[in-house]
Amino acid sequence: MTSCKMKYLSKSPQETFELGFEIGRLLTIGHVLCLEGEMGGGKTALSQAVLQGLGVSGYITSPTYSIVNEYEVDGKKLYHFDIYRVESAEELYDIGFDDYLKSSIVIIEWPQIIREHLKGPVIDIEIIKTGAEGERVIHLKGPCGIIQKLKEKFGEKGIKI
């Protein structure tokens, strides 16, 4: 599958929220969202926005300690993973990772150990701290249909750095 790319310049947590919420509105069953970037970059902040865009209401916690948090909206299963503390793909398969991927939408923080095993439509996101207070550059790569819609929504902001 050909993939498309974009960059998004976020100048505040609110601007990251706006991107995440829109991504959530565009995700459908089978999509996997991978979130890379340094600690405190905003992977959980973006995930929370994505989940809200998918329709989750109420407080959304970080899965840092639980490894995975589960949600269900209108019969859709949503899984939010943080696999920072998981050491190998094998260990992840031991907790039934394959089953989580079936008929669901999956978000993964720190996806590096599993990334090469993922098939199907994956949206790869990397969040980079620019050094300026509250600012992040967010690199996105994924199915062109989704990237194109994000570019239409955010216009120049989505592509200009």
Ligand X SMILES: Nc1ncnc2c1ncn2[C@@H]1O[C@H](COP(=O)(O)OP(=O)(O)OP(=O)(O)O)[C@@H](O)[C@H]1O
Q: Is 142 in the site for ligand X (CB under 6 A)?
A: no
Question: Distance between CA atoms of 7 and 42, rounded to whole angstroms?
Answer: 15
Q: Is 136 in the site for ligand X (CB under 6 A)?
A: yes
Question: Distance between CA atoms of 145 and 8, rounded to whole angstroms?
Answer: 17
What is the distance in angstroms between the CA of the first residue and the CA of the last residue of the chain?
A: 27
Select from 33, 45, 54, 68 the one that contacts ligand X (CB under 6 A): 45
Distances (CA, A) of 101 to 105, 108, 112, 113, 135: 7, 11, 16, 16, 32
Q: Is 48 in the site for Mg ion (CB under 5 A)?
A: no
Residue nearest to Mg ion (CB): 44
- Give the footprint of ligand X on this chain (CB under 6 A): 10, 12-13, 16, 37, 39-45, 64, 82, 109, 134-136
- Give the footprint of Mg ion on this chain (CB under 5 A): 43-44, 62, 109
